């Protein structure tokens, strides 16, 4: 690497670019932009003039850090000024993304055009705000519509608990500058949605809800069809996470690959029936072009989410190479996808889905070297082993039964539920109501798959907690690389040994005769966990919030699972107020028969 010669390959440069962006956000403060700009320029000029590959790689690392840092600084500068938190503001903007209709409220994101305060003073910098409209009127916002609201806002915040979702980090990565609510139901629609991709997605989502009005599977079908997952229940998400099948509802490489492959095969069969056409253009080129177009349409229906972007670029790279009659390796395609995604969304490196999606492809590319077998079994184990360090880092627990669940769920969802939902979506665009039987078919498939997932979720060994230190994570990454190495290298046993620190000891032990009290951050209310060497007592369960969610599902259960607690021994409720007992329903669903005092 350090010698002179030809320039580094695309895969190495992509790794340097992404690594630079990740390192730029790893510290507690951001490096000044001018320092990064000068260092990048010096390294780039030196590398090109001296043709030193190592110096060029360093230049790309610095360039990736520069690109990500400027995006982070713009995001910080666009946050709501603290002086305006809690103030009544007027905003005008367009609804982006699909609104989420929940009991007694609707949640949506508004791309702000103009904003001003109570005395007419303009508010600069706001770009996107996440709003909740409590007890909304019959006419609620739809994607693409332009509205004027009176709102009260604050900066995005998270409740600080191990194992819980970091909403503030998610909002920062997705460009959400403030969160709040519509004040006094003051909202006026200024312009209809018009034409565009968003209204098409919303139309299909509404068609799914009309076709399955009382079905618990409507949210899942809408998620498979257009990536609209707002109708899924907390219990459904919990089942998917516990069984390692959440990726089935994120339209990514699996779904786009299956769609492209099916269209490729069907197009090949049709084109071969017209010999005159195949004499002009090879069949595989026509099929590749139509397959890529089908994948692009599906990605558009899914809203071009982060996993969808990565998958589409990964799929487009080899298909375009085929169309141009060039060869493109997996490493080059993966590197190209990583660079394009981070150019479009520099803060994607903060997202768990970014690392999980690229990590899965890397694991497959490395773990299937020389593999000539067929079937789902080995790829499932390769992905499971490859993602162990990332799952421990981002979620604090690992679904041990994930390979078993995916062995059944991937072909069932990929070959049955997804084609039915997607074909139903296309049929619905042709004529209202035509997609109803296909949506029912997709729901039928999911209804028969779900009992298996719930049965696997209920096993005591379904998940294992893992909250390792940084050195154990680094050792686990190296262990996975060795464990998935091609046969004949003789390093797999060493790789297995490097995974041990990830799980042992699982958690700090509590000495007999002592106890540990943890008061969880639930906002207004209380939830505390008292642990002894052999007993876990839960005192209160936190509040229940608007929209149906509660602290039991969002905070208490993730914390206990992250700490390796299979189930509390009992629950004590101090009194029946909802801010102390609101999470009990979710906890009892998770552990039926739990003693409650």
**pLDDT per residue as tens digits for the range 520-554:** 999 889 999 999 988 999 999 999 987 678 999 88
Give me the pLDDT at residue 161, please: 87
Query: What mean pLDDT is reported for the chain?
Result: 85
Output the CA torsion sign for 245, 249, 251, 256. Answer: positive
- Judged against a pLDDT cut of 60, whether residue 3 lies above it is answered with no
Instruction: Check pLDDT > 90 for residue 65.
Output: yes
Torsion angle of the four alpha carbons 40, 41, 44, 50, in this order, in degrees rounded to the nearest 10: -130
Whole-angstrom distance, CA of residue 408 vs CA of residue 389: 24
Please report the pLDDT score of residue 131 as a whole number: 95
Higher pLDDT, 330 or 352: 352
Q: Per-residue pLDDT for 317 more than 80? A: no
User: Which residue would you say has higher pLDDT here, 367 or 555?
Assistant: 555
pLDDT tier at 147, thresholds 50, 70, 90 = very high
pLDDT at residue 353 greater than cutoff 90: no
Is the predicted pLDDT of residue 70 greater than 90, yes or no? yes
The DSSP code for 349 is G
pLDDT at residue 139, rounded to an integer:
82
To which H or E segment does residue 160 belong?
Answer: none
**Where is pLDDT greater, at 293 or 51?**
293
Quote the distance between the C-alpha of residue 498 and its chain's center. 28
Q: Is 98 left (phi over 0), alpha (psi -120 to 50) or beta?
A: beta
pLDDT average, residue stretch 264-287: 77
Burial (CB count <10 Å: 0-12, 13-18, 19+), residue 488: exposed
What pLDDT sits at residue 415?
83
pLDDT of residue 449: 94
Tell how strand 88-102 and strand 105-116 pair up: antiparallel
Mean pLDDT of 4-11: 66
The stretch 356-367 carries a mean pLDDT of 83
Query: Quick one: tokens of 510?
Result: 């509590």
Regarding predicted confidence, which is higher, 385 or 370?
A: 385
Residue 439 has pLDDT above 90, yes or no: yes
User: What is the structure's pLDDT at 196?
Assistant: 75
User: What pLDDT does 463 receive?
Assistant: 82
Q: What is the pLDDT of residue 261?
A: 80
pLDDT at position 314, please?
A: 72
Which position has the higher pLDDT, 304 or 67? 67
Looking at the chain, the whole-number percentage of residues with pLDDT higher than 90 is 31
Residue 505 confidence (pLDDT): 63
Mean pLDDT confidence for 190-217: 87
Query: Which pLDDT does position 319 carry in this prediction?
Result: 67
User: What pLDDT shows up at residue 507?
Assistant: 63
Q: In angstroms, rounded to a whole number, what is the distance separating the alpha carbons of residues 332 and 7?
A: 14
Confidence of residue 496 (pLDDT cuts 50, 70, 90): confident
Q: Are the C-beta atoms of residues 373 and 408 closer than 8 Å to each other?
A: no
Mean pLDDT of 250-270: 78
489 pLDDT above the threshold of 80: no
Sheet holding 516-519, edge to edge: 516-519, 528-531, 536-539, 570-572, 595-596
Helix (H, G, I), strand (E, B) or coil at 587: helix
Please state the rounded mean pLDDT for residues 138-153: 91
Higher pLDDT, 169 or 51: 169
pLDDT at 6 over 60: no
Question: What pLDDT is stored for residue 200 in this prediction?
Answer: 87
Comparing 133 with 460, the larger pLDDT belongs to 133
Mean pLDDT of 508-522: 90
Poorest-confidence range of 204-218, 348-362, 446-460, 468-482?
A: 348-362
- Dihedral of CA 269/274/278/281: which sign? negative
| Model pTM score | 0.82
Confidence of residue 305 (pLDDT cuts 50, 70, 90): confident
Q: How confident is the model at residue 458 (pLDDT cuts 50, 70, 90)?
A: confident
Sign of CA dihedral 140, 144, 148, 149: positive
User: Given a cut of 60, is residue 5 above it in pLDDT?
Assistant: no
pLDDT band at 376 (very low <50, low <70, confident <90, very high): low
The DSSP letter of residue 350 is G
- When pLDDT is averaged across residues 393-419 and rounded to a whole number, the result is 86
Rounded to 10 deg, the angle between the 470-483 and 377-395 helix axes is 170
Report which of 298, 301, 276, 277 is spatially closest to residue 287, judged by C-alpha positions: 277
- Answer whether residue 501 shows pLDDT above 60: yes
- Mean pLDDT over 284-305 rounds to 81
The model's confidence at residue 373, banded by pLDDT at 50, 70 and 90, is: low
Residue 92 confidence class, pLDDT cut points 50, 70, 90: very high
Helix ranges restricted to H, 272-401: 275-280, 283-301, 306-323, 330-344, 352-367, 377-395
Q: What is the pLDDT of residue 438?
A: 95
């Amino acid at each position: 690497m350090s010698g002179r010669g030809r320039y580094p390959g695309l895969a190495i440069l992509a790794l340097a670019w992404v690594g630079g962006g990740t390192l730029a956000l790893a510290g507690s403060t951001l490096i000044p932009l001018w320092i990064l700009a000068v260092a990048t320029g010096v390294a780039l000029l030196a590398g090109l003039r001296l043709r030193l590959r190592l110096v060029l790689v360093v230049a790309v690392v610095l360039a990736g850090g520069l690109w990500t840092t400027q995006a982070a600084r713009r995001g910080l500068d666009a946050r709501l000024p603290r002086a305006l938190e809690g103030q009544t503001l007027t905003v005008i903007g367009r609804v982006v993304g699909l609104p989420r209709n929940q009991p007694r409220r609707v949640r949506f994101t508004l791309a702000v055009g103009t904003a001003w305060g109570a005395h007419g003073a303009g508010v600069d910098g706001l770009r996107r705000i996440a709003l909740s409209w409590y007890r909304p009127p019959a006419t609620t916002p739809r994607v693409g519509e332009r509205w004027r609201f009176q709102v009260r806002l604050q900066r995005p915040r998270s409740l600080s608990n191990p194992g819980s979702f970091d909403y503030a980090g998610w909002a920062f990565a997705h460009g959400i500058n403030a969160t709040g609510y519509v004040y006094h139901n003051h909202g006026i629609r200024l312009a209809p949605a018009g034409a565009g991709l968003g209204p098409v997605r919303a139309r299909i989502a509404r068609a799914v809800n009309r076709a399955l009005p009382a079905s618990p599977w409507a949210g899942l079908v809408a998620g498979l069809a257009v990536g609209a997952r707002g109708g899924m229940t907390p219990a459904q998400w919990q089942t998917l996470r516990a069984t390692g099948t959440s990726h089935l509802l994120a339209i990514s490489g699996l779904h786009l690959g299956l769609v492209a492959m099916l269209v490729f095969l069907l197009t090949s069969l049709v084109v071969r029936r017209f010999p005159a056409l195949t004499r002009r253009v090879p069949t595989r080129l026509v099929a590749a072009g139509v397959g890529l177009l089908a994948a692009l349409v599906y990605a558009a229906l899914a809203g071009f989410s982060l996993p969808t972007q990565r998958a589409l670029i990964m799929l487009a790279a080899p298909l375009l190479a085929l169309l141009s009659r060039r060869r493109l390796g997996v490493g080059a395609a993966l590197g190209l996808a990583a660079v394009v995604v981070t150019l479009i969304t520099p803060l994607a490196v903060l997202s768990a889905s970014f690392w999980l999606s690229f990590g899965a492809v890397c694991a497959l590319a490395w773990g299937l070297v020389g593999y000539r077998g067929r079937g789902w079994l080995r790829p499932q184990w390769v992905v499971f082993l490859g993602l162990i360090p990332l799952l421990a880092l981002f979620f604090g627990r690992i679904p041990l039964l994930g390979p078993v669940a995916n062995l059944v769920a991937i072909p069932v969802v990929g070959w049955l539920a997804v084609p039915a939902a997607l074909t139903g979506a296309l049929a619905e665009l042709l004529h209202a109501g035509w997609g109803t039987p296909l949506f029912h078919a997709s729901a039928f498939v999911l209804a028969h798959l779900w009992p298996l997932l719930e049965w696997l979720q209920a096993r005591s060994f379904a998940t294992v907690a893992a909250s390792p230190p940084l050195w154990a994570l680094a050792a686990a990454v190296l262990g996975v690389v060795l464990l998935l190495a091609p046969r004949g290298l003789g390093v797999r046993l060493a790789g297995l040994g490097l995974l041990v620190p990830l799980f042992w000891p699982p958690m700090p032990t509590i000495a007999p005769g002592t106890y540990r009290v943890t008061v969880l951050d639930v906002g207004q209310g209380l939830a505390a966990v008292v642990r002894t060497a052999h007993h876990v007592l839960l005192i209160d369960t936190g509040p229940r919030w608007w929209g149906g969610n509660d602290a039991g599902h969002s905070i208490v259960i993730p914390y206990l699972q992250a700490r390796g607690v299979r189930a509390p021994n009992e629950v004590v409720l101090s009194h029946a107020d909802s801010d102390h007992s609101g999470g009990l329903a979710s906890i009892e669903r998770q552990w039926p028969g739990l003693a409650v005092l």
